[in-house]
Structure 1
Amino acid sequence: MPAPCASVASAAAVPVPVRPGLAILVLALLLSLQPVTTDLYLPALPALTRSLGASMADAQLTLSALLLAFGCSQMFWGPLSDRFGRRPILLVGLGAYTLASLGSAFAPAMDLLILWRSAQGAAMGAVVVCARAIVRDLYDPLEGARAMSRAFTGLGIVACACAPLGGLLSAWLGWRAALLALTVYAALTLALVVLHLPETLAQRNPQALRPATLLGTWLQVLRSPTFWAFSLLTMATYGGLFTFLAASSFVYIDVLGLTRTQYGWVMASAGVAYFGGTFLCRRLLVHHGLLRTVAIAGGLSLGGGALLVLFAWLGWQRPWVLVLPYYLFMLGHGIHQPCGQSGALGPFPRAAGVASALNGCLMMLAAFAIGGWLGRRLDGTVWPLVNGIGFWSLVLALVSWTLVQRFGDPARAPA
C-alpha cells in the first residue's frame, strides 16, 4: 500500500508518523461503527417492537432518529476537529457512544430507547467525521480513494459478521444482548485509539470556530460542484443501502417467512458482495482512474435495481431470488462509497472536517426522509423495499454518468 502523504494544509507541514497498516486498521474500526450500530440490531427489530409494545413507525424511529442525530451532529463535530484536532474529538465521541450504548441496552420503553439511540447517533457523528477527515490528512484524493477502499474492506468484514451475530444474540439472549454488544465494540475501539492513534492533523486551524470563518468555509464547500457531484453520489448509494436496512427485516422475516438467524445470513451475504466491491474498486482505480471507476459502478447499481424490480414484477418473490440482484447494487456500493467520500473531501485539504460533516449530513438527511417514508409505506408486501432500491439505483446511475463525469475532476470542473 502506498505510504501516507502529508496533509497539504501547510507547505511546512511534516508528515504525520502513522504506520500505513495501523492507519487502515483504525480507519476500518472507526468507519465500521456505523454498520455495527445499524446492522447488529436489525434481526432483533421485529422482536424489540413487540417486546416494547410499540408500533412499526416507532420501530423505524430507532433507526431514522439515530441517523438524523448522526447527520446533524457532524455539522458540529467537523469544525471542532479542524480547530482542536482529530484525536481529542475521537476520544470524546467514542466515550459518549459507549455510555449511550449502555443506556440503549437497558432502556425500559420505546421512547427512552429512541432517545438513547439518538444520543448514540450524535456521538457516532464525531467518530465518522474524524475518520473521513483523517483520510484527507494523510492522503491525496486518488490515494485517499484507495486507502478508503481498504478501510471499507475491513468494514465489509465487520458488516458480514454483524447481522448473523445480532440474530444469534437476539435468539439466544434476547434483543438487549444485541444492543449491549455495541458497548463492547465501542469500548475496544476507544482503547485502541487511546493507546495507538496519534494526532493526524498537521496544522490546526485556530479560526475554524469563528462564525465568519465557519460561514465562509461552509459556503466555500457548498459552492464547489465537485463536492456536490460526489456528495450526491454518496447520498444516492447510501439511500439504496438504508432502504434495505430499514425495510429488509420486516420484509424478509414477516413477509417472506425467514427466521432471525436466516435473515442474519441474508445480511451477511450482502456484506460479502460489498466486501467484493471494495476489492474491485482498488483494481478499477489502478486501471481506469477515479471517474471511469465511478461510471462502471453506476452500471452495476442500475443493473441490480432494475433486476430487483423485474423479478418482483414477474412474481418471483422468494427470499434468495430477491436478494440476488441486490448483490449487484452492493458491489457498486463498495465502489461508490470510497470514491465518493474521498472525492467530496478532495478539494478541501484545510477544511476536511467541515467538508466531511456536510457530506455526512446530506447522507443522513436522505436516510431520515427514507425512514419516514418507509414507516408509512410498509404494508406487508415486498414493494416498498423493491421500489425504494430501484429508485436509488436509477439516481446513482444518472449521477455517476453525468455530474461526476463533468465535475468530478476539480481541475476540469467549470467555474
Structure 2
Amino acid sequence: MSDRTVRAPLSPLAAAWTLALLLGLQPLTTDLVLPALPAMGSDLQAPVAPVQLTMSALILAFGLAQLVWGPVADRFGRRPVLLAGLGLYTLASAGAALGGDITQVIGWRIVQGAALSVPVVCARAMLRDLYQPHEGALVMARALSGLGVIAIASPLSGGLLVAASGWRATLVAMGVIGLLLWALIAWRLPETLRSRDPAATRLGPLLAQAGRILGHPTFRAWSLLVACTYAGLFVFLAGSGFILIRVLGLAPLQAGLVMCTTSLAYITGTFFCRRWLPRHGLVGTVLRGSGFSIASALGMAVLASTDHRAVWAVMLPTWLYALGHGVHQPCGQAGAVGPFPRSAGLAAALAGCVLALAAFGIGLWLGHALDGTLRPLAIGIGSGAAGAVLVVWTLVRRHGDPARVAV
C-alpha cells in the first residue's frame, strides 16, 4: 500500500481532531468522576483508600493492557482494534455504573482501564504512521489542545451530573460517549497502518523488539519525562476531589469549576509548545517548558511547609504545573515513538506502561497519605515537577533527538 494512499484521507487538521477525541477519552475517564469520588465513598460506605483505588486500579490496568493492545494493533491494524476496545469500554462503563459495592466498581474500572488503553495506544501509533517526529509533535500539540477542551468540560460536567443525578451518572455518561466514539470510528476513520507486521504478536520477536525499544536512550529519555509529568498530574486528578471538597469545603459543582481552570492552563501550555517547536525543536521546547515546572516545584514546597488553606494557594502552583505539562506531554509522546516507525504500537504501549506504573504507585501512596491537610497533594505534585525538570536537563538534553537510528 502506498504512503499516499494511507495519508490522503486524513489532513493534519482532521488527524488532530481524531487524535483529540481518542486521547480525550483518557481525561474524560479520570476527570469526569473526580467530583463524584466523595459521594461514591459515602453512598457505598467505603473509606478513602478503596475509593482512591477506583482511580489507581484503572490506571494500572490502562498501562499493562497497552502491552497487549500495542502489538495487536501492529499485527491487525489500528481500526479493528479500536472498534473492539471501544466496545469493551462501553460495556465496562455500564458495569461500573451498576456496581453494588466498591469492590464491584473497582473491578469494572479495571476492565474500563484495560479498554481505555486501546484508543490511547492506537492514537499514539497513528501519529507515527502518518508523520515524522517533529511534524507529529506539532499535530500532537494541536490534538492535546483539543484534549484540553475535553478536560475542561469533564470535571464541570461531572459536578453537574453528581448534583443532578448522583455519582453513577458520571459512569453512565462515559458509556454513552464511548458508544458515540465507536460509531464515529466505524463511520469515518480509515486504516493508517501501511503494512501489518505478522510477527508483531509472536513472543520471540515481540520480546526482542521490546528489548531494543527499552534499551534505546531516546525512548528512555522521553518516556521517563512523560511518566514524571503525568505522575504529578495524577496526584491532582486523584486527590483534588477530596482536597477541594473535604479540606477546603467546596461544593461538588464549585470543585468542578476550579478543576476546569487547570485544563485552561494546560491548553495554554500546548500553545507555548506549538509556538516553540518550529524554532527550537523537541529538546529546546521542553528545556523552555521546564521553567514552568521549576516554578511549580518551588510553589508546592511553600504550600507543603505552610499548609495554607486557600483555593488560590493550591491552584497557583498547580496552574504552573499544568503549563509545563502542556509543553512536556506532546513532545514526550511524539519523541518516545519517533525512532520506531515499524513498531510504533509497541513503542507507544511501552511508554504508556511506564507512565501508568508511575501513576499507580503515586495513587497507592496518595490513598494512604491523604490526612486532611494540603501536604500530600503539594508533595506529590512538587515531586512530579522536580522529576520532570531532572529528566529534561539530563536524559532528554543528552539523548532526546528522535532522529537517532530508527529501530
Shorter-chain TM range is: over 0.9
- Quick check: 1:133 aligned with 2:125? yes
Q: Does 1:18 align with 2:9?
A: yes
> Conserved in 1, the CA contact under 8 Å of 2:79 and 2:189?
yes
Taking structure 1 as reference, are residues 50 and 241 closer, same or farther at Cα in structure 2, changes over 3 Å only? same
Deviation at 1:321, TM superposition (A): 2.2
Shift of 1:189: 0.9
- Map 1:10-409; keep pairs closer than 5 Å: 14-20=5-11, 21-409=13-401
Structure 1 residue 12 displacement after superposition = 7.1
Aligned length: 405
Shift of residue 18, structure 1, vs aligned partner:
2.5
Please state how far the C-alpha of 1:287 moved relative to its aligned partner: 1.9
Q: Matched residue of 2:55: which SS? A: helix
Q: Distance in 1 between matches of 2:2 and 2:134?
A: 20
SS of the equivalent of 1:349 reads coil
The amino acid across from 1:96 in the alignment is L
Q: TM-score, normalised by structure 1?
A: 0.95
Amino acid in structure 2 at the alignment position of 1:332: G
Task: Report the equivalent of 1:5.
Answer: none
- Listed one character per residue, the Cα deviations across residues 223-255 of structure 1 (whole Å, up to 9, x for unaligned) are 100000000000000011001111111111101
Go from structure 1 to structure 2 and tell me whether the alpha carbon gap of 1:244 and 1:347 turns closer, same or farther (over 3 Å shift).
same
Does the 8 Å contact 2:31/2:151 carry over to 1? Answer: yes
Q: Which runs of 5+ in 2 are unaligned?
A: none
Counterpart amino acid of 1:358?
L
Q: Structure 1 residues 315, 16: closer, same or farther in 2, change over 3 A?
A: closer
Q: What SS does structure 1 have at the residue aligned with 2:7?
A: coil
Question: How far apart are residue 14 of structure 1 and its match?
Answer: 4.6
Matched position secondary structure for 1:204: coil
Alignment-mate amino acid for residue 342 of structure 1: A
Q: Distance in 1 between matches of 2:306 and 2:380?
A: 17
> What is the identity, as a one-letter code, of the residue corresponding to 1:364?
A
Q: Verify the 8 A CA contact 1:312 1:322 in the aligned structure 2.
A: no
1:13: how far off? 7.5
- 1:356-382 CA deviation, whole Å, 9 max, x = no partner? 000000100111111110111111111
Residue identity in the other structure for 1:63: M
**What do you get for the CA RMSD once the two structures are aligned?**
1.5
Determine the C-alpha separation between the residues in 2 that align with 1:221 and 1:174. Answer: 45
Letter in 2 for 1:258: L
2:170 corresponds to which letter in structure 1? A
Q: Cα offset for 1:144?
A: 0.7
Please say which of residues 398-407 and 20-29 is displaced more in the overlay: 20-29
- The whole-number CA distance in structure 2 between the counterparts of 1:11 and 1:25 is 24
> Alpha-carbon deviation of 1:314?
3.9
Distance 1:379 1:193, change over 3 A: same
Query: Residue deviations 1:66-110, cap 9 Å, x none?
Result: 111110000000000000000000000000000111111111111
* 1:108 partner amino acid: G
Contact 1:43 1:264 in 2 (8 A): yes
Measured in 2, the distance between the counterparts of 1:22 and 1:194 equals 16
**2: CA distance between counterparts of 1:273 and 1:138?**
29
Amino acid in the other structure paired with 1:223: G
Which letter maps to 1:166?
G
TM score, norm. by length of structure 2: 0.97
What is the Cα deviation at residue 316 of structure 1?
Answer: 3.1
Q: 1:11 deviation in Å?
A: 8.6
Partner Cα separation in structure 2 for residue 167 and residue 401 of structure 1: 39
Q: SS of 1:114's equivalent?
A: helix
* Alpha-carbon shift at residue 286 of structure 1 (Å): 1.6
In structure 1, distance between residues paired with 2:403 and 2:106: 45
Measure the CA separation in 2 of the matches of 1:301 and 1:18: 38
Letter of the 1:71 partner, please give it.
G
Counterpart Cα distance in 2 of 1:312 and 1:61: 24
Gaps in structure 1 of 5+ consecutive residues: 1-9
2:303/2:375 contact within 8 Å kept: no
Please give the alpha-carbon distance, in whole angstroms, between the structure 1 residues aligned to 2:26 and 2:257. Answer: 19
Distance in 2, matches of 1:140 and 1:394, equals 30
**Moved >2 Å (runs of 4+):** 10-19, 311-317, 410-413
